[in-house]
Structure 1
């Protein structure tokens, strides 16, 4: 069917199945109108008092598949439309370098002989992906592809607004953005935006409150810089096209369909590729956006029309009510406050609030609460069951060629996106990651055979929607082969947090396959006698070899060993739970032959398996501390010597860095129990990107953009997710063997509360604290959602307290062992409450 016939059929279908224009215009069931002004903005919202000057001031909206941003301009407004599968490129059969494995013995021989530079040179020639790889981060026109903007909705009004007073806000609880405009102190125009969580369309509602606003002519149009054709037919705006497959042909087909409904009078006129709206009091614009990624047989245009029909069949009030209820039911699981708040500072526009915080963090402690909730909000908004995981920019971009393709970097970045998922009580968001990882297995098995002659499956640093698993085109960063093993940590953690045995059965083949890869490819290093990965890297870092050369590729690294130990341990636990003892025993034998995490003569943790000197002491990656966080090999209770060495390593690395690195360091400091250091680096993460570095007198660049997007630079969302997780980690930990309240509470957070955080064993925790009280913890509530035996580690100094299980008093002394409370086995519905006395 031609595009013209398809549009005609879709238009006819829409006209047949929805009320006529006249009927639609007379509707009075308009969406609830937000209050024109609020004197106090709660911690779960923020606002600007002017339109956006760039994407880094636009307010992000999303339902996990769709994304939307608006610049909020008064006259010529642009709304950016995103959809998580808007990827150019295609499956790249050339990426599988089938000659790679035959060079592997020589590469290893050179590495073990100490000829590191020669080994690296050979790797550059023989042990990289075939084809063009990721295009060195610019892959939109090669098979690897890039995540791309969907398109832009333009709203143009006929005249300027005299003497405007302006506000646009984002409510994180409900996932709704509001713009209000007054002129000469009187209401003029108001707009609300949301991406429906229940009906999967974007919704923009415009209230022309002043008579002069109604007489403005609103011109609506859709555009895209390339690979898009805009048309108008029977009141529908359509933008459709094919993204390039990177091989000279067509890739994914997409379509954006938009339709305005006049809910209280007015007229729509078609003119060229625009729709003109005049004399309308209330305008509701429904926007559908789809690709055929999930179903090659799907017509994105026809499906978009169908989605609009369904959404239009619901009153606008119910449409918004349903979205609010669904979105807030997940966002509302966690709440946080620090102190009683400072209304004067919290009521500032967000750009001014960031500036005030940078000058005096103690003036606005609840900015940390907002940032934590913003991280949860971004995760909920950028992924959902049936869609894709959040990419490097979540779901939001306004570019054809996104930075680094906005792909899935697997040496920390994608994994970091999921750090707030479990503890932040958004466990459902891990399901899209699980499905994506399952989709990697066929390619990962081929890569294991072609590059290593190995069993199981493997992936390296690069990931896209086309199953790319080969090493990157640049071995200094592309040779890392523990991406699959690290991903497995998140899958197994989901089991630990949910106690879902059916899920464990689902993921066990993934864990087993990742383990089989290392069982079949680890080789013995003749220099130290241990089994090692070779070749590998300590992600993106370089070292000084004994011959003076600067190299990245090595035989083994500390991070590799920590991840493989974790993978084998988790896989063994899973195997035993599912009755595979023989395979579990094979993992134990290999575990004993991995080099343990080792302290160097200078007291730091060695980053490589030999005591090489790093060439960049303040490198952004802190990979050799994986075992501290996100792993749990290094703990204060079990490995105090390694804790001291980790602290020394972190001190040497320094705090200020790219945003995602600073976010990682918040979590690392929290695991160390270094409250003030965690607080200091969090404050660096929250600094405005335009703030001046006192040493260089230039803008930092890294930190937080005005709309709270994290800046690498450029915008990279992992800093948001990592920072949110870090704040939660400072207040509650459970992955190190026990539930630990307030492990890194800074003095500046003198009094506060957090509710609804998840812990290992499928339970939620709520706690209150007061620095003026002994032990600081004043109240703790543990609510079980599955059978589990929890262990509770209390803050130092807390010696007088009451403990009740389902209202029944417990005797703490009977539960104490080694400074921990070994709680009675709990079942779903049980409540354990601790109150300080």
Structure 2
């Protein structure tokens, strides 16, 4: 019996240690081989790398955030303005397909359809004699942003660590062997670019220079330069014309710097060679341990802000690819926490202040011609990338996207004037590093005028979380410009007399009633975005005491916008007319924008629209492309259905190919559209947050959509609007047991609770009445829905909640415990 007990203790200790050791790691017991989606991503917002972990022939695939095809250009179609009246008339007359045909000629760009994000190339490391190996493991530790590969050959253990430094502008790879003089390898570059050169300088720097691709008539003006320099512990460093050879070293540290001549979307006069050399020289003199320590500290400044514990089971002890394979049929709550934090890791690694926004693939791409050019699709995907930014305590990382919106507000002025004859600014459904705002890819997809309007709402969201009036004043012209575009662009619907967008569409979907054309007037999503653009501009102007006349204009126009409709199938109508097909399972469910990320549809203020949103989701189905399932997790969380949201998480965390007709997840946990699109990763991280904390509907709602499989847990560091931080939240048996909230701005703290709490001091909490007096929680009143006579829509039965108010002071921390 004693021996059995000792064995039990050893097993428990070993399992517990292993799980804790692997808690925030992706790890595998085989190399990536030739499959890019098996490799592990590292990055610092400026540089990205994919580490394959191959033993004999290692590949480090390299990206730099400004390596894009083409150069400064515009892609407006000057024929649009003359054709606009005719297209509007065709749509109002029901000739949608004719309107689409004319729009393809007059609106869609005859120039660039958008430029491409491109790779730099590969650094290849060849290890002769390492074909037969054992004890292999590779991992990505997302707690310190370091990749590690280890294996054994002939009794010698080899280790490689790699990271993209958050304190320097270099990639660092450290190679060791536990037997002196055992490390030998050859390093060389390869690149898919047509114009490139590989060389070794007199100082034994391995260099790559190149020019990105010309594309769609736009000549490339981007030059890039990469430098690899190796620091040895003993051994010899030899060279050929295009490679470096390390012989019999104890250890080696490889430094990689990459730079381009890109300054901004209108200036490519930088010196890529000097930049690359400066980055290299600034880092090379530091020891590996110093670089590693500084990197971890700079990274963890962001990552450590949020912690999530949903429990752990023995399933967490398996390699990541096996956990992914098993997840749908196994209780593995820690895998959800890992995936959640992986989303935060990817955002930290692909979006840093001063850099470019995370694109369709973040910052990781190995193809000269990636899917959808790996650019910025702003009819959902680019916005979804930044849904986790504010709420998961990564507000600074929102900055690259916010800066892009400011750029679009400049380039989009010419598009608004040239193509639509309006004031203000606008953008269509796609943009790139050159901040193109013309309509691309065909009228079916591209003639959508709300890209700028939607993207501008991120500026307002940033303000709602941070409360910085100086920031609000600086971005007010952008909000105002987005509103002025719609002031001039809206037209009266001849039948309904509402003010509508024409031409517009509901992104990438088309009803059969319109003969498969996507163009229409007054689609639900267009109406919702215009409503938000007007509302946020009104609120910003009121706060800043600006533009009283404009406020009046916007209020009047907003009152004339088309309201939302509940159709004959008890659905939220996608179009003004009741033509939705309940069997339509299209990946875009754009008309639910009003439910999330907007807050025009509320469980408590618009119950019929809330119920109709649920019916729409049920009709559309669950399994879809990866990013679509990510969005659906957020919707089901807003619908307060944690079990359905978790069902979508299971669908998303399913190996690609298992979901019939849908996406899933690759072995390295990249989201699969397919192919890889990073937005699904970010969408799921946002959705998990929304299951635990929401702050968009007049209060901070705690545990609004807790799944049954997470009865106990805790989260730390989630942010809410109005400058509130959930310092700590614990629950047991689905009930809150502890809550700690920090108020960084002061003001009323309204909590929507699943069970009674009291202040730690013992004081009872005051029940809330009326509207929340905290201005950051002001919610505009949604227009009364129009409900079909054929509908029998009924409000949903909601979980009971307790609504309380606590007056807070700036900088104070408030602790609550279960009553």
Provide the residue aligned with 1:357 in structure 2: 327
Deviation per residue, 1:140-162 (Å, 9 max, x gap): xxxx3200011110101121243
Provide the residue aligned with 2:305 in structure 1: 333
Distance 1:624 1:297 in 2: 43
Give the TM-score, by structure 1 length. 0.89
| Displacement of 1:770 | 4.0
Provide the residue aligned with 1:568 in structure 2: 534
Q: Determine helix, strand or coil for the equivalent of 2:140.
A: strand
Deviation per residue, 1:642-701 (Å, 9 max, x gap): 1111000110000000010001000000001011111111110111114364xxxxxx66
Distance 1:767 1:748 in 2: 21
Distance 2:133 2:353 in 1: 46
Q: Where in structure 2 are there 5+ consecutive unaligned residues? A: 1-16, 772-800
Distance 1:333 1:105 in 2: 53
| Displacement of 1:501 | 1.0
Provide the residue aligned with 1:744 in structure 2: 705
1:521 aligns with 2:521: no
CA contact (8 A) 1:812 1:821 kept: no
Distance 1:248 1:618 in 2: 38
Distance 2:809 2:131 in 1: 61
| Displacement of 1:42 | 3.8
Distance 1:299 1:117 in 2: 50
Distance 1:484 1:279 in 2: 57
| Displacement of 1:394 | 0.3
Provide the residue aligned with 1:139 in structure 2: none
Match of 2:164 among 195, 207, 213: 195
1:320 aligns with 2:288: no
1:756 aligns with 2:717: yes
| Displacement of 1:127 | 2.0
CA contact (8 A) 1:41 1:346 kept: no
Distance 2:766 2:301 in 1: 39
Distance 2:629 2:459 in 1: 25
Provide the residue aligned with 2:640 in structure 1: 673
Q: Where in structure 1 are there 5+ consecutive unaligned residues? A: 1-36, 135-143, 694-699
Distance 1:248 1:625, change over 3 A: closer
Deviation per residue, 1:147-178 (Å, 9 max, x gap): 00111101011212434221111111111111
Give the TM-score, by structure 2 length. 0.91
| Displacement of 1:722 | 0.1
Deviation per residue, 1:360-392 (Å, 9 max, x gap): 2x2x11111011101111000001111110000
Match of 1:61 among 36, 42, 66: 42
Distance 1:486 1:587, change over 3 A: same
Distance 1:469 1:86, change over 3 A: same
| Displacement of 1:769 | 4.4
Deviation per residue, 1:693-738 (Å, 9 max, x gap): 4xxxxxx661111000000000000000000100111011001211
Distance 2:344 2:41 in 1: 13
1:409 aligns with 2:365: no
Distance 2:458 2:741 in 1: 23
Provide the residue aligned with 1:810 in structure 2: 763
1:596 aligns with 2:573: no
CA contact (8 A) 1:120 1:551 kept: yes
1:51 aligns with 2:51: no
Provide the residue aligned with 1:29 in structure 2: none
Structure 1 residues 228-627: aligned runs within 5 Å: 228-233=196-201, 234-246=203-215, 247=217, 249-262=219-232, 264-294=233-263, 296-339=268-311, 341-342=312-313, 344-360=314-330, 362=331, 364-545=332-513, 549-580=515-546, 581-614=548-581, 617-627=584-594
1:106 aligns with 2:73: no
Provide the residue aligned with 2:774 in structure 1: none
1:832 aligns with 2:814: yes
CA contact (8 A) 1:542 1:614 kept: no
Q: Determine helix, strand or coil for the equivalent of 1:244.
A: coil
Match of 2:747 among 785, 788, 797: 788
Distance 2:502 2:392 in 1: 37
Distance 2:768 2:619 in 1: 41
1:644 aligns with 2:603: no
Distance 1:187 1:365, change over 3 A: farther
Distance 2:553 2:619 in 1: 38
RMSD (CA atoms): 1.8
**How many residues are treated as equivalent by the alignment?**
766
Distance 1:89 1:60 in 2: 26
Deviation per residue, 1:27-78 (Å, 9 max, x gap): xxxxxxxxxx967434321201111031111111011111011111111111
